[in-house]
Amino acid sequence: MSFDLYVDTSRKGISIAIAGKSLDGCGDAFYKEIVDPEARGETLSKNLDSLLGQGRIALQDIKRVMVTLGPGSFSGLRTGVAFCQGICFSGARKLYGVSTLEALECFSKALDTAVVVKARKDYWYLRLCGQESFDSTDDVIAKLGAGTPKFAVVDATARDDARLTEFFSTKSIKTVLDEGNPLSLWARLFENHEPSLIQEANYIQPSYFEKGH
């Protein structure tokens, strides 16, 4: 079997998963995941060892690594990227860096999907029609109203925000929570991104990245 590793340190804590399938496509799919909302970067290696042990997998069996680049906590992102750089440094596996918002978009199977997650009080990170922005609540509602997506992947803060909830209901936009979904849904992003052995620091989009503001 060939295995993929997914690492997300851009949101709360750490999420790490291993997914695989037989090379001929005939065997059963494999999936193991650890989600620890209280974890810090120093537990990444321990969690990876745990996943490898659960699946009786050797590190050399992992051929592709995907890591989220933000927006999110800068310290978390730096830790996740550095960890993935380390295990890909030998060239034995390929490293893919992807936007957190693009990854979250994969939790909806529909093409007309927006992503709305908290940036800070009354401000949000928005992904709509392939474009990402940092917007106030008013701007998010205006952009979604003009674009009219059918689905929106949201975090708990966006789900519980009174104005956004009312807007989603009025426009019949179905929401998908960003929690409880397998990271293996991000696999389709391998087709749209080129691997890079070393991700430069300026690829990381920290939580205070406010382009245009």
The pLDDT, as a whole number, for residue 199 is: 47
Helix (H, G, I), strand (E, B) or coil at 123: strand
Q: Which amino acid is at 88?
A: C
pLDDT (tens digit, 9 = 90+) per residue, 90-147? 888 999 999 999 999 999 989 899 999 999 999 999 999 999 999 999 999 999 999 9
What share of the chain has pLDDT > 70, as a percent?
88
pLDDT (tens digit, 9 = 90+) per residue, 193-204? 999 855 444 455
CATH number, domain 108-177: 3.30.420.10
Rounded to an integer, what distance in angstroms lies between the CA atom of residue 149 and that of residue 164? 14
Q: Point out which residues pair with 144 in neighbouring strands.
A: none
Query: In 38-146, where do the E strands start and end?
Result: 62-68, 94-98, 113-120, 123-128, 131-136
Which H or E run includes 33? Answer: strand 30-36
Q: Where are the domains of the chain?
A: 2-99+183-203, 108-177
Residues 6+ apart with CB under 8 A from 100: 8, 10, 11, 68, 69, 70, 71, 72, 117, 205
**Is cis: bond before 71, omega within 30 of 0?**
yes
pTM value is: 0.90
Same fold, 2-99+183-203 and 108-177: yes
Distances (CA, A) of 148 to 7, 128, 138, 140: 31, 10, 15, 12
The fourth-level CATH superfamily of domain 2-99+183-203 is ATPase, nucleotide binding domain (3.30.420.40)
Helix (H, G, I), strand (E, B) or coil at 157: helix
